[in-house]
Structure 1
Amino acid sequence: MALDKILSIGGKPGLFRLLTQTRTGFVGESLLDGKRITVGMRSNVSVLSEIAIYTLEEEVPLKEIFQKIVEKEGGKKTTISHKAEKIELEEYFFEILPNYDEDRVYASDIKKIIQWYNILIDNKINDFSTTDEEAIVSSDEEE
Structure 2
Amino acid sequence: MSVEKVLAISGKPGLYELKIQTRSGFIAESLIDGKRLTVGLRSNVSLLSEISIYTETGELKLFEVFAKIATKENNGPALDHKATNNDLLAYFGEVVPDFDRDRVYVSDIKKVLNWYNILQQANYIAALTAPAVTTTGTVTINNNTEEQETVEAEVVEEKPKAKRATKKKTEDKE
TM-score (norm 2): 0.74
Q: Which residue of 1 aligns with 2:143?
A: 131
Equivalent in the alignment of 1:140: none
Mapping 1:13-92, distance limit 5 Å: 13-78=13-78, 80-92=79-91
How big is each residue's C-alpha offset from its partner over 1:85-131, in whole Å with a ceiling of 9 and x where there is no partner? Answer: 11110000000000000111010110010010010010111132313
Deviation track 1:38-89 (CA, whole Å, cap 9, x = no partner) reads 00011110000000000011110001000000100000111x2100111110
Q: Could you say what secondary structure the match of 2:8 adopts?
A: strand
Please tell me whether Structure 1 or Structure 2 has the larger radius of gyration of its CA atoms.
2
Deviation at 1:2, TM superposition (A): 3.3
**Paired residue type of 2:142:** T
- Which ranges of structure 1 fall in alignment gaps of 5 or more residues? 137-143
RMSD, aligned α-carbons: 1.6
Amino acid aligned to 1:89: L
Aligned residue number for residue 113 of structure 2? 114
Distance 1:85 1:35 in 2: 31
Checking the alignment, whether the CA contact within 8 Å between 1:3 and 1:47 is kept in structure 2 is no
Unaligned runs of 5+ in 2: 129-140, 151-174
- Who is 1:141 aligned against? none
Measure how far apart 1:4 and its partner are: 1.6
TM-score, length of structure 1 as denominator length: 0.89
Identical positions, percent: 51
User: Which structure has more RCO (C-alpha within 8 Å, separation ≥ 6)?
Assistant: 1
Q: Secondary structure at the match of 2:124?
A: coil
Contact preservation (8 Å) 1:29, 1:37:
yes
